[in-house]
Structures are given as C-alpha cells and as structure tokens.
Amino acid sequence: MKTDKQEQQKHPQNVRAMFGRIAPNYDRMNRIMTLAQDLRWRREVIRRAALPERGRLLDLGAGTGDLAMEALRQVPTAQVLAADFTLPMMTVGRKNKPATIRWCAADALNLPFASQSLDAVVSGFLLRNVVDVERSLSEQYRVLKMGGRLVCLDTTQPCQTFFRQR
C-alpha cells in the first residue's frame, strides 16, 4: 500500500524537479547504483523489443537517452525517438548522443504520437515515477503498431532484506 508521501513524490512537478536536479549526474549514478548492470539490462530491453530494420522505436521517459542509443547500436537503420518531460535530462542526453536520435518533450500519460505509428516502445525506470501506470501503459499500447513490442525496465525496492527488516 502506498503512503501519502510516496504519492506526493510521484506528483509530476516533483518528479520533474528531482530529475532536473540530478540530470548532470544521472548516468554516473545509474552505473554506481546498479554496479553497471543497467548497461546489460538496457541491451536486453532493446533485444526484446525485436526492432525491425528501419523500424520506429520510442524511448519513453528517455532521460539522457541510453535506451535510444542502445537501439541504434543494435539496429543502426532504426528511426529512434527519445521522449521525456524533463528538459535538463534531454539537454544532457543531446550533448552526448548522435544527431540521428530525435528528441521530443512528452508526458507519458498523453503521448503526442499517432495511434499505431511505432514498432516498439521501451522505457527504463519510468513506471515507478508516473502517477497513473495504467494510463501510461494504455498510451504506450495505443501508439504501437499491430504486432509491436512494449518493453519496460524497472526495479523495485525489496520488501525485506538482511539490512532492511519489515
């Protein structure tokens, strides 16, 4: 069960502000917090997306564009869109990623893309930060072509570990 504090943390203004603050260090933080496993996880997300040659992929909640970049590594002919609602994250990403990635400001709850227009939608660590997961997934499904793939990468905090008892 979610607490009021957890719900408040998901408020779009709070999420945008937090990611705006951490944008310059986001990639480094991910590598440290996951012991660089996030790189392997992202490779697997794109592999599972099964993007066809010249296929259209949306990296939703793209942040600095790591999934978008991995998509181009695996399918160089892909048309890759990176969408986020935090301008500082996209600004950091655009500095370090190829110009072939198209960047777009977008809210995961109201995507500005035509229905059935994409071969794959991927996200990394997005769903934990949206206030309405069902609506976000519905929007992602809406923009997928028939037979398209939706692949979400996320983690959760374990309920109980040796260091954290219930």
* pLDDT at 68 (0 to 100): 96
Residue with tokens 């954290």: 164
The mean pLDDT values, 10 residues at a time, for the chain of 166 residues are 52 67 69 75 95 97 92 97 88 84 95 98 91 96 98 76 56
**In 129-162, which positions are buried (b, 16+ CB within 10 angstroms) versus exposed (e)?**
bbeebeebbebbeebbeeebbbbbbeeeeeeeee
Residue with tokens 């959760």: 156
C-alpha–C-alpha distance, residues 136 and 133, integer Å: 5
Q: Under 8 Å CB-to-CB from 64, ≥6 apart: which residues?
A: 23, 26, 27, 89, 90, 92, 93, 96, 97
* pLDDT at 15 (0 to 100): 63
Query: What is the sign, positive or negative, of the torsion defined by CA atoms of 14, 15, 16, 22?
Result: positive
Amino acid present at 3: T
Place domain 4-153 in its CATH homologous superfamily: Vaccinia Virus protein VP39 (3.40.50.150)
Polymer length of the chain: 166
**How do the domains of the chain map onto residue ranges?**
4-153
* pLDDT at 87 (0 to 100): 87
Give 124: exposed, middle or buried? Use CB within 10 Å, 0-12, 13-18, 19+: buried
